[in-house]
Amino acid sequence: ARLEPGDRILVHTGEAVPADARLVDSAAAFDQSLLTGESVPVTLRPGDWAPGGALLAGAPVHLEVMRAAADSTLTLISRLAERGAAQKPALARLADRIAAVFVPLILLMAALTGLIWAWLAPELAWPNAVAVLVVSCPCALSLATPTALAAAHATCLRRQLLLAGGEALETLPTITDVVFDKTGTLTEGRPTLERVDAAPGVDAGQALAIAAGLEQGAAHPFAHALREAAGQGAFEVDRRGHQPGAGVAGRVVLPDGEVLTCFLGSARWCGLGDGRVAREGLGAEAHVGHASEVWLVARAWAAEDAGEPSASAGETRVLARFSFTDPLRASASELVDGLKRDGMTVHLLSGDRAVVVEAVGRTLGLEQVRGEADPQAKQAYVRDLQAQGRRVLMVGDGINDMPVLASADVSVAFGRPTALAQSAADVIVMQPRLEAVRQLLEIGRGTRRIIRQNLGWAFGYNLMAIPLAAAGWVPPWLAAIGMAGSSLVVVFNAGRLLRAARVAEHESVGAAPRPSAA
């Protein structure tokens, strides 16, 4: 809010540009889908404008503010978010359309009732016509869906689930397949550096310093682990390039003055194929295990590297391999078993090495497992399921999950999701609790059940009460009680969702008192 034109700002990977600004130091990719609908990140060069609200999909960059935050495109983002929150789900719109027809129909029925009774018994014409008007309850019909959705939203908030819109609640009961990312979702998302295998003649500490420098400002869990292991010894790196879900590259100046173009990422992205030959060269084959790995390769700096460096553009040499361990979350097995009991097919889809992903899949008893999947492959995997008529819930947390989150029928940003992941998700889990995924599905099924009950009651009540009032068997005073009672039934029935959430909370804390969250 305090930004003014001319201010210099640093934007980290996955963060939103806070105000319209000009790129200063290097080229970077920005996701502008919230503004333009373009799903592919747009590469901007130094001097180009990055609109407020655009999300940085590359390495951290410096920008110069060109407009005050109050005048920037970010204001448009806020309006779009408010508009999205105000959108009614399809069921609510259907109920409104029915109510729009229902009201004039009731007016017509009341008029016909008055005319018929004026001919049969004039003294009963007005009482019976009024009774038809009063006993009919378009309120219950119009309230049936919104009250259930409001209770569901409140229930989600109590469970620390943030819904981006009502459509997700309607789709959740139809889900047939649940697809999980691995790192940071089924695992703790806090990998630790287990081992550094350096090439002959390469100092392991120096390789770690290069890797930590390449990952400065990055949000990926492996980046945190590398920086933590390197401490204050990270090298300065400039002219970074970044490919989500693959790796990072940059120019590194070594203490002896040698300038290298270094690449840190998956074996395939670093030009090492499946990494088997490189592991044999490091004498590390016996240590493959189930650890995740990241490779560091380098080549001499070339003039063409001022653009977008590529590991396949010249002869590279392996510097080191970094092995990470990331334990499964304690509730992962219980969640997977519960989803299977509910009749759903559970998939594990990750960009990590196939051997690691398969090992996790075996531990969890999963048959549908795929590793070494880049963002495009993840998106294609989910679309293939949808082409088979499946309804897919995707759970992920990283920048590389953004395309697949946007493609799934319902998407959940889990753990410590980046702003990019949150922008593509229908539901944001505000605390890293795996059981929240199953709770979300239960809330969706409960909401559908309550909506159906409410609509059934509203229609059944009107079909029964209106003919009785038209026949003269319901006096106006009783009609008034029936109309009010019908609306209250709908409201209290929707409230059962909240009551069920309170009971579950009470049981989960062992009947301990819970402080109020005002």
Q: Which among 44, 38, 40 has a CA at the least distance from the CA of 20?
A: 44
Is residue 506 over pLDDT 90? no
Mean pLDDT, residues 303-312:
57
- Find which of 331-345, 403-417, 460-474 is predicted with most confidence, using mean pLDDT: 331-345
Flag whether the pTM goes above 0.85: no
Helix, strand or coil for residue 157? helix
What phi, psi does 357 have (nearest 5°)? -65, -40
Instruction: For residue 323, give the DSSP letter.
Output: E
pLDDT tens by residue, 10-19: 998 888 888 8
Mean per-residue pLDDT, 167-193: 86
Residues 6+ apart with CB under 8 A from 62: 8, 9, 10, 11, 24, 25
Distance from C-alpha of 449 to C-alpha of 432, rounded to nearest angstrom: 28
pLDDT above 90: residue 339 = yes
Edge-first strand order for the sheet with 317-325 is: 192-198, 317-325, 292-300, 259-265, 247-253, 237-243
pLDDT at position 515 is 38
CA dihedral of 439, 441, 446, 448, whole degrees rounded to 10: 160
- Answer yes or no: is pLDDT of 209 > 90: yes
Does residue 292 or residue 178 have the better pLDDT?
178
pLDDT (mean) for 107-127: 88
Contact between 505 and 514 (Cβ < 8 Å) = yes
Among 56-65, 132-141, 435-444, name the one with the lowest average pLDDT.
132-141
The two tokens of residue 26 are 């290097």
- What would the 3-class secondary structure string for 53-108 be? CCEECCCCEEEEECCCHHHCHHHHHHHHHHHHHHCCCHHHHHHHHHHHHHHHHHHH
How far apart are the C-alpha atoms of 52 and 32, rounded to whole Å?
9
pLDDT higher for 280 or 7?
7
pLDDT at 308: 58
275 exposed, middle or buried (CB, 10 Å; 0-12, 13-18, 19+)?
A: buried
pLDDT confidence of residue 287: 45
Please give the structure tokens belonging to residue 475.
């006096």
- Reply yes or no on whether the pLDDT at 78 is more than 60: no
- Confidence check: pLDDT of 483 > 50: yes
Give Cα separations from 59 to 27, 49, 56, 403, 517 (angstroms).
9, 17, 8, 18, 38
Instruction: Using CB atoms within 10 Å of the CB of residue 98, give its burial: 0 to 12 exposed, 13 to 18 middle, 19+ buried.
Output: middle
> Given pLDDT bands bounded at 50, 70 and 90, which one contains residue 411?
confident
Q: What is the pLDDT of residue 310?
A: 61
| β-strand pairing of 177-180 with 392-396 | parallel
- Is residue 426 annotated as a catalytic residue, yes or no? no
What would the DSSP string read from start to end of 274-293? TSHHHHHHHT-GGG-TT-EE
Tens of pLDDT, residue by residue over 432-462, are 788 889 999 999 999 889 988 988 888 888 8
What pLDDT score was predicted for residue 505?
A: 59
pLDDT exceeds 90 at position 386: yes
Least confident stretch, 71-75, 80-84, 262-266, 360-364: 80-84
Largest CA distance in the chain: 109
Which one from 181, 197, 409, 426 is the annotated catalytic residue?
A: 181
The mean per-residue pLDDT over the stretch 22-30 comes to 85
How many CB atoms are located within 10 Å of the residue 282 CB?
18
- Tokens of residue 417, six digits: 């999701």
